């Protein structure tokens, strides 16, 4: 009996013109998302290679490591980040490494090409969130009340059909008829990636599979919700309207409203406020150092070079102490801000998770590594790299980090041997490690659970409602 209803549902949906048209549109959009994602990755990779080369090129010709300024590292593009963009385009992709001080991410894609920020990208995440949820509604809003309106429900239940079997058959049949065919363009799109020479590691394929799985759960949530609403209403026009309102709230309003509410509920000091506090503290430290400079008493020497070395050592000591204090102060402020931010993010995400759209967006971005953690992860790695870089520069300069904090003084008598240029390729390269899969999965588990929960709750709602549904 169940098989019969599933088969009927499959045949009914697949033989309809509505399916042919909407499936065609969805298939094109999915393939387009994969193609655009692959192209975006290729462009991003080319820009990344050029930026890395340019960074090394600007150091060419320098003859002293102390002259190296603005050594920059870059967040490499990730193939999946183009499919589930998350915040990848919003956060800075570049960090300037001085060997000391705070590292910050600059030059986001949107800050460089703001036109992309206007309508955002047509990525897989967008297609699942917006297009496929509408696709589910379009085919399931009349699952039960449509059968009643058309008159097929009484005829069906004039037979010995348990209601539970019928409902399960309807939902399973609709899911198989709608979700499974969508896997075809997704599989074709995935096939495009190796064809376009996008380097996908085994772990990346696993991440993509999990994203699609989350998408299917999200699709299922809207499908079961639509069936539920169709068991709560007797007219298809009512269920469609109601579902449209729910869709607008779930996809467009709830996630944004949650962030707004969290912003109101948990105050986080702004970056400007922080910068102002740091700046004031820095000025105080400078003032103190300026006074301390007056106490510089060189040991008796007539050699200007020795005098200068003494002065440099004195200044370096002051700079190191000042730097230490500044770092401690900044770290304290940053930690306070991060803690507040973490609370705010938790409040925002937990409120937003009322919506399946938010749960899916969080699950997919966590899996791919384009969630808010990306910035933190990049800066963490940049911070570690800075230490390695500082060690390297110290080794090259005999202890100094340079970076404009020392004065350089050389005497030349014309007969001195010309100094050899430094080799920028000797600088240890920045090797970005993507967020590990187990960490990504851990971060996505809650939202996976929520998506399953939505499916179960909506199915249970539809089941209980249909048990008392007036079949006439």
Residue ranges in contact with another protein by CB under 8 A: 1, 4, 8, 11-12, 15-16, 150-152, 154-162, 470-472
Q: Phi, psi (5° rounding) for residue 94?
A: -125, 145
Q: How far apart are CA 51 and CA 59, in angstroms?
A: 13
Which candidate, 442, 419, 333, 444, places its Cα nearest to that of 66? 419
Name the strands in the sheet holding 105-106, side by side, starting at the edge strand that comes first in the sequence.
71-74, 94-97, 105-106
In which residue are the tokens 């539809």 written?
A: 462
Nearer to another protein, 360 or 469 (CB): 469
Q: How far apart are CA 23 and CA 16, in angstroms?
A: 11
Q: How far apart are CA 368 and CA 204, in angstroms?
A: 8
Q: Catalogue the E-assigned strands of 23-93.
A: 71-74
Minimum distance, C-beta of residue 24 to another protein, in the bound complex (Å): 17
Q: How far apart are CA 253 and CA 268, in angstroms?
A: 23
Minimum distance, C-beta of residue 7 to another protein, in the bound complex (Å): 8
Minimum distance, C-beta of residue 158 to another protein, in the bound complex (Å): 4
Which candidate, 93, 78, 98, places its Cα nearest to that of 38? 78
Minimum distance, C-beta of residue 25 to another protein, in the bound complex (Å): 20
Nearer to another protein, 61 or 162 (CB): 162
Minimum distance, C-beta of residue 166 to another protein, in the bound complex (Å): 10
Minimum distance, C-beta of residue 225 to another protein, in the bound complex (Å): 24
Which candidate, 52, 47, 223, places its Cα nearest to that of 140? 223
Nearer to another protein, 153 or 208 (CB): 153
Q: What is the DSSP letter of 394?
A: H
Minimum distance, C-beta of residue 374 to another protein, in the bound complex (Å): 47
Nearer to another protein, 230 or 366 (CB): 230
Minimum distance, C-beta of residue 123 to another protein, in the bound complex (Å): 34
- How many helices and strands, by DSSP H and E, does the chain display? 17, 3
Minimum distance, C-beta of residue 149 to another protein, in the bound complex (Å): 9
Nearer to another protein, 153 or 326 (CB): 153
Q: At what angle do helices 437-467 and 356-368 cross, to 10 degrees?
A: 160
- Coil, helix or strand for 96? strand
Q: What is the separation of C-alpha 33 from the centre of its chain, rounded to a whole number of angstroms?
A: 17
Q: Could you tell me whether strands 94-97 and 71-74 are parallel, antiparallel, or unpaired per DSSP bridges?
A: antiparallel
- Coil, helix or strand for 233? coil
Query: Count of alpha carbons within 13 Å of 262, Cβ hemisphere only?
Result: 20
Minimum distance, C-beta of residue 222 to another protein, in the bound complex (Å): 23
What does the block give as tokens for 106? 């600059």
What does the block give as tokens for 75? 């967040």
Nearer to another protein, 21 or 471 (CB): 471
């Amino acid at each position: 009996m169940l098989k019969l209803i599933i088969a009927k549902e499959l045949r009914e949906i697949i033989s309809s013109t509505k399916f042919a048209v909407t499936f065609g549109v969805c298939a094109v959009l999915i393939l387009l998302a994969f193609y655009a994602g692959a192209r975006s990755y290729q462009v991003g990779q080319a820009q990344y290679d050029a930026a890395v080369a340019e960074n090394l090129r600007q150091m060419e010709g320098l003859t002293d490591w102390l002259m190296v300024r603005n050594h920059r590292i870059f967040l490499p593009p990730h193939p999946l980040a183009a499919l589930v963009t998350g915040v990848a385009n919003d956060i800075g992709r570049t960090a300037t490494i001085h060997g000391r001080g705070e590292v910050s991410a600059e030059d986001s894609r949107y800050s460089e090409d703001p036109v992309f920020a206007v309508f955002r990208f047509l990525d897989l995440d967008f297609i699942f969130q917006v297009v496929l949820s509408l696709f589910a509604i379009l085919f399931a809003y009349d699952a039960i009340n449509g059968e009643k309106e058309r008159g097929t429900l009484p005829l069906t239940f004039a037979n010995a059909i348990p209601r539970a079997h019928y409902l399960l058959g309807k939902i399973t049949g609709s899911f198989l008829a709608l979700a499974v065919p969508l896997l075809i363009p997704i599989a074709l799109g995935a096939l495009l990636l190796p064809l376009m020479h996008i380097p996908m590691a085994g772990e990346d394929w696993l991440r993509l599979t999990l994203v699609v799985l989350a998408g299917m759960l999200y699709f299922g949530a809207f499908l079961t919700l639509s069936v539920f609403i169709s068991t709560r209403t007797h007219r298809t026009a009512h269920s469609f309207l109601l579902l449209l309102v729910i869709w607008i709230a779930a996809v467009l309003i709830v996630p944004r409203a949650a962030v707004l509410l969290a912003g109101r509920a948990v105050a986080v000091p702004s970056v400007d406020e922080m910068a102002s506090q740091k700046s004031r503290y820095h000025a105080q430290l400078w003032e103190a150092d300026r006074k301390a400079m007056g106490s510089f008493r060189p040991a008796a020497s007539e050699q200007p070079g020795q005098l200068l070395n003494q002065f440099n050592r004195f200044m370096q000591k002051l700079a190191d102490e000042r730097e230490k204090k500044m770092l401690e102060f900044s770290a304290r402020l940053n930690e306070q801000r991060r803690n507040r931010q973490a609370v705010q993010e938790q409040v925002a995400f937990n409120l937003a998770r009322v919506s399946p759209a938010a749960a899916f967006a969080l699950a997919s971005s966590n899996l791919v590594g384009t969630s808010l953690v990306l910035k933190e992860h990049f800066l963490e790695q940049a911070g570690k790299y800075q230490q390695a870089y500082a060690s390297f520069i110290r080794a090259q300069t005999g202890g100094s980090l340079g970076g404009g904090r020392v004065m350089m003084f050389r005497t030349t008598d014309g007969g001195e041997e010309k100094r050899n240029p430094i080799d920028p390729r000797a600088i240890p390269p920045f090797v970005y490690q993507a967020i590990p899969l187990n960490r990504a999965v851990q971060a996505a588990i809650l939202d996976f659970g929520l998506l399953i929960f939505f499916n179960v709750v909506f199915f249970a709602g539809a089941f209980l409602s249909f048990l008392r549904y007036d079949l006439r």
